[in-house]
Chain A
Amino acid sequence: DAGITQSPRHKVTETGTPVTLRCHQTENHRYMYWYRQDPGHGLRLIHYSYGVKDTDKGEVSDGYSVSRSKTEDFLLTLESATSSQTSVYFCAISPRTGIEQGELFFGEGSRLTVL
């Protein structure tokens, strides 16, 4: 158990509303990631963090922002949700560095539906 919890697990919202997803870890690992998973696509990286207040963009960052004010929490915000952001969002942590940094431990996912 990597000690990762995501909230909410399910959310239905309307186009144009702001949405925040939370990822919480209990192990104080430095690296945290947000991915989205869509049918026919692999997991795609949205943003990642390498420390408190240190974040960077991933492959599909447009329309998303993140914040990390504490080691244990990594927040993903959709400022104005669109239907194309309907997806399952996974948070992941990496307890290792270097080449093994790619060995990720995932949360259980947050299913977001934007109507």
Chain B
Amino acid sequence: ILNVEQSPQSLHVQEGDSTNFTCSFPSSNFYALHWYRWETAKSPEALFVMTLNGDEKKKGRISATLNTKEGYSYLYIKGSQPEDSATYLCASQYNNNDMRFGAGTRLTVKP
């Protein structure tokens, strides 16, 4: 069973706070790990793809790390802003077409 777990389910932070959430995935047959950002009433948008153990990716104030040996990835947001409010999805890819998504972490940033 290729369950991808994300924690916490939801998170409320104040503007300016830094925050992070976790994605756990089965590490056997791992191919790639994806993070998506999903704003309310919009479609999910790709943030990062990571493949190698120890990979780190950064886009502005958002960064992600990957540990394929223990099967987890962290997403960090530095200095959260209200526009960062969204659901953040991770997905573990096991071959070209087998992607398993977590249920997401819903982030709310209060002004």
Contact = CB atoms under 8 A, between A and B. Distances in A.
Interface in B70-101: 89, 91, 93, 96-101
User: Most chain-B CB neighbours within 10 Å: which of A42, A97, A106?
Assistant: A42
Contact of B32 (A40, A43, A102): A102
B43 interface: yes
Interface string A27-71: 000010100000011111100101000001001000000000000
B43 A43 contact: no
Contact of A42 (B31, B49, B91, B93): B91
Contact of A90 (B31, B43, B51): B43
A38 to B, nearest CB: 9
Contact of A102 (B4, B34, B102): B34
B43 A31 contact: no
Contacts of B32: 99-100, 102
Contacts, number: 61
Interface string A80-92: 0000000000100
A56 B97 contact: yes
A33 B96 CA distance: 12
A14 interface: no
Interface of A: 31, 33, 40-45, 48, 50, 56, 59, 90, 97-109
